[in-house]
Structure 1
Amino acid sequence: MSSATNGTDPAVRVSRLGYVQFTTPDVERLVHYYTKALDFELVDQGPEGAFLTTGFDHHSVVLTQGDARARSAVGYEVWGALSDAERRLRDAGYDVERRSDISPGTPDVLILTEPATGVPLHLYESQDPSGVAGYTPLRPTKLGHVAAFTSELASLQKFYEELLGFQWSDTIGDFFVFLRCNADHHAANFMASHKYDGMHHIAYEMRDPAHLITMIDHLAKEGYRLHWGPGRHGPGHNLFTYHKDPDGNTIELFTQLDVMHDENKGYWEPRPWHESYPLYPKTWEVDLATVNIWGPINQEMMDH
């Protein structure tokens, strides 16, 4: 159940997913992947790390030196003043830290720890502009969502809904939950697991199917092969492809994700491939059509 539904007022209202950090033993290798394979722009690089963007924001991806770890920090933009968010979080009993030295482009950041995973969450009002402008044929339009494993799914969902203002979008069975912070079907999703931890996958949005195909052709020329897709998921109904980056992280490229333009009506914008009209958030059966409406599955992606 979402926070909007149960009537609680969250301490913070996240407006969108801003950036994700990766710790890597080879920063230059991942910079090459993001700039040459995915056509990101390298905005800044120094002792703090490498900062890459898909567009207006200073950075969408942060790469820092160290032992390989995906999703080593996540940045969320919030509605309203950061001072108000800090007060409300402290009033809710959470330890937070206000810092001005996290990275170029985000001079004022509120840090709290994600329960169960220990991942630092960076909350901020806005990023400095990247200076990157103009259209490119390849580059993804934005960072779309990040999926992670957790051993405490219920408490983590409650944290995101009641503290950060996320809304429930869908659940697969009793183990995979999708949460949104704006009209997009999901910005964060979590899979219950006592076997795995860390990131499940990260996803970048493409404009449309033609844009997705163009990028897949480019990835093939750069030596990156798909390990799942193209296909269409049930929850979110996005077209998807998955491949691995040089560190072995799973990267999704997607398009046609469900959107909810009117929270008061509570259903997804109708699409021809929906199972019902109107289509509301729901709990999906665990079956092949849920994972991929078109057919083939990748067991690795569903193993939890």
Structure 2
Amino acid sequence: MIKLSDIDHVQLGVEDLDSAAHSWQMEFGLIEREREGGSAFLACNYEPYSLVLSKTNTPGIVYAAYNLDPEFSLDDAEKHLKDHRIEYRRTEQAVEFKDPEGNGVQFVPYRPHRGQDVFPRTSRYTKDLHQAGPRRLGHVNYLTANLKQMVDFYVDIVGQEVADTLGPDAGAFMRIGADHHVNAFVNTGTPHFHHLAFDLIDFGQIRSSFDHLAQHGRWFPWGPVRHGIGGNLAGYVRLPEAECFVELYCDMEQIDQHHEPREFPDDRHSSNVWGMLPPRSYFRFDKETIDAERESLRSIWQ
């Protein structure tokens, strides 16, 4: 059995590396650490990086990478995948493989304090962190066509645990540590990467970030919301160029080692205790839907 420490970073493919790196810095407050081999490495905080942007002709998710527990090495990860007959590729930095729906996964070595020193962020000095950037990368979310298969794979092969489920077969939320979830699956019948999520300090920072993003022409198909499952305050920004959303959130439920998975009812309250379910466009990525969503055409009273 493999054991993880945390989510480490996400890699996205982009058509225009310079433009994408600039957007992530100007709009979301990330910092570009370095460029290497056609990739840009960006950080939220003091960590080496949380987001890798790579130039490609097929934009979208490339993989999500997870830190191994300190007791597990890349050799251990390689043996684990061999024992389960999972095809993989080994590099000096990672072990790479794919889940049943073709999403990339990486195991990377344990990074103590995610590359940071032992002191809290507020007690350190900096010459490069941007004002009001995210605290960290928090989780990823996928749409799936086979919920059980994906949950079983991420438990048995990736080493995550089920935190809670949405109904018996509508969704599942996966944990590694105290955060309610580091990964989630929503059963929509069609597989697609849905969003990566960044942890902010509080709702005031979410409000300021939304104001800032709106000034850059971004729009928000759903939010702000208070999720029933997970408990977090959140809002969702569409990134058409990356075929995904970015969630900005705070106040995620913290759960302990004795937590028993709960089955939340598949209803409005579990998704958003404040009000409405997400619009249908929230689960779609085709151009027609995005264009209509951008201009709120489906919200006009007929």
Cα–Cα, structure 1 residues 237 and 84, in superposed 2: closer, same or farther, change >3 Å? Answer: same
Alpha-carbon contact 1:96-1:111 (below 8 Å) kept: yes
Structure 1 segments unaligned to the other structure (5+ residues): 1-9, 101-107, 267-279
- SS of the equivalent of 2:151 reads helix
Letter in 1 for 2:262: K
Which one of the candidate residues 147, 151, 159 is aligned to 1:153? 147
Which one of the candidate residues 66, 70, 75 is aligned to 2:60? 70
Residues 24-33 or 71-80, more deviating: 24-33
> In structure 1, what is the equivalent of residue 107 of structure 2?
123
> In structure 2, what is the equivalent of residue 6 of structure 1?
none
Which one of the candidate residues 249, 254, 257 is aligned to 1:259? 254
Residues 33-42 or 80-89, more deviating: 80-89
Which one of the candidate residues 249, 255, 267 is aligned to 1:287? 267
Offset, 1:63: 1.1
Identity of aligned residues (%): 26
Cα deviations by residue, 1:22-55 (Å, 9 ceiling, x for unpaired): 1122222221221001110001123331111112
Whole-Å separation in 1 of the counterparts to 2:115 and 2:271: 37
> In structure 1, what is the equivalent of residue 136 of structure 2?
142
Mapped pair 1:297 → 2:277: yes
> In structure 2, what is the equivalent of residue 24 of structure 1?
14
Cα–Cα, structure 1 residues 200 and 301, in superposed 2: closer, same or farther, change >3 Å? Answer: farther
> In structure 2, what is the equivalent of residue 113 of structure 1?
98
Alpha-carbon contact 2:221-2:282 (below 8 Å) kept: no
Alignment of 1:1-304 (within 5 A): 10=1, 12-79=2-69, 80=71, 81-100=73-92, 108-115=93-100, 117-126=101-110, 129=115, 134=126, 136-173=130-167, 174-194=169-189, 196-245=190-239, 247=241, 248-260=243-255, 262-264=256-258, 266=259, 281-300=261-280, 303=283
Cα deviations by residue, 1:271-290 (Å, 9 ceiling, x for unpaired): xxxxxxxxx53122222111
Offset, 1:129: 4.6
Q: How many residues matched?
A: 270
Cα deviations by residue, 1:138-166 (Å, 9 ceiling, x for unpaired): 10011111111222221211111122321
Cα deviations by residue, 1:108-163 (Å, 9 ceiling, x for unpaired): 21112212x22221111145959996364310011111111222221211111122
Cα deviations by residue, 1:199-256 (Å, 9 ceiling, x for unpaired): 1111111011222222222222323232211110111010011111251521110000
Measured on the aligned residues, the alpha-carbon RMSD in Å equals: 2.3
- SS of the equivalent of 2:22 reads helix
Please give the TM-score of this superposition, normalised by the length of structure 1. Answer: 0.81
- SS of the equivalent of 2:139 reads strand
Cα deviations by residue, 1:169-190 (Å, 9 ceiling, x for unpaired): 1111212110001110111111
Offset, 1:293: 0.3
- SS of the equivalent of 2:253 reads coil
Alpha-carbon contact 1:23-1:72 (below 8 Å) kept: yes
Cα deviations by residue, 1:84-129 (Å, 9 ceiling, x for unpaired): 22223222322332202xxxxxxx21112212x2222111114595
Whole-Å separation in 1 of the counterparts to 2:266 and 2:156: 27
Structure 2 segments unaligned to the other structure (5+ residues): 118-123, 285-302
